[in-house]
Amino acid sequence: MIATKDPYPPIEDRYVSLLWAEIEMAEDLAIMHVQLFDPAWDANAFRDLLAESGTSALIAKVRLCELGTPVPVGFAIGRVAADEAEVLTIGVTEPFQRRGIGAKLANGLLRAVNSAGAKCLFREVAADNAAASGLYQSLGFAETGRRKGYYNRREGVAADALILSLDLARKP
Ligand SMILES: CC(C)(COP(=O)(O)OP(=O)(O)OC[C@H]1O[C@@H](n2cnc3c(N)ncnc32)[C@H](O)[C@@H]1OP(=O)(O)O)[C@@H](O)C(=O)NCCC(=O)NCCS
């Protein structure tokens, strides 16, 4: 059982499940996406994406108590083309962040695109997105390019885009 006093209690592995995201889960994906991204992708966008042949998509669910119904808390979606893959989107809803779920999703996606034939995985990330940069770094991604001032920020300060890549053949 997860203690209620601590707003960020650790989540035991047995409460977390990773599932293949099916088209019927498009609404769940859209509900999570809008909490994390602007612009957000709607359910139709997810339906189209999940219908594409090169798409690998995972959803993370957590049971909040022993007999609870698993609730969706995160997702990771990638696309494989020939021997390369790209992380299209990854996110974990805020109350469940920093509990290892993003890492579980990312590792699941690595395995999925690797078995679909990808030899390397790419992702572009804003240099000021500490959480995402930290996640990719922890997985062994290396910076292979940088677009200066690529992202406009509300305050008028632009953020660089980092091009990150991971050689899946060298990943243990
Ligand atoms: C990025 C994101 C998916 C990480 O998910 P998460 O479940 O919180 O990540 P995890 O708990 O699995 O953390 C794995 C590692 O990532 C890094 N990390 C995660 N959050 C971090 C933060 N806020 N600051 C710095 N590093 C962070 C750490 O290295 C962490 O390992 P550690 O906990 O052992 O230090 C989540 O913060 C998120 O959904 N952010 C908003 C959407 C987004 O920016 N997506 C990425 C677009 S490129």
Question: Over the stretch 147-167, which tens digit does the pLDDT of each residue have?
Answer: 999 998 877 789 999 999 999
Quote the domain boundaries for residue 147.
120-172
Does 117 contact ligand 1 (Cβ within 6 A)? no
**What is the distance between the alpha carbons of residues 109 and 87, in angstroms, rounded to a whole number?**
8
Q: How far is the CA of 8 from the centre of ligand 1 (A)?
A: 14
Same domain, 109 and 125: no
130 and 106 in a common domain: no
On average, the pLDDT of the chain sits at 93
43 pLDDT tier (thresholds 50, 70, 90): very high
Q: How far apart are CA 143 and CA 6, in angstroms?
A: 36
Domains: count for the chain: 2
Are 61 and 108 contained in the same domain? yes
Residues carrying an active site annotation: 124, 136
- Separation of CA 135 and ligand 1 centre (Å): 5
146 and 128 housed in the same domain = yes
Task: Indicate if 114 and 126 belong to the same structural domain.
Answer: no
Task: Kindly state whether residues 59 and 81 are assigned to the same domain.
Answer: yes
* CATH number of 74's domain: 3.40.630.30
Instruction: Please give the share of the chain, as a percent, with pLDDT higher than 70.
Output: 94
Kindly state if the Cβ of 131 falls inside 6 Å of ligand 1. Answer: yes
Residue 87 scores a pLDDT above 80: yes
CB distance 103 to ligand 1 below 6 Å: yes
Same domain assignment for residues 130 and 108: no
Tell me what the mean pLDDT of segment 18-32 comes to. Answer: 97
Q: 2 and 52 share a domain?
A: yes
> What is the predicted pLDDT for the residue at 1?
47
Sign of CA dihedral 171, 93, 124, 26: positive
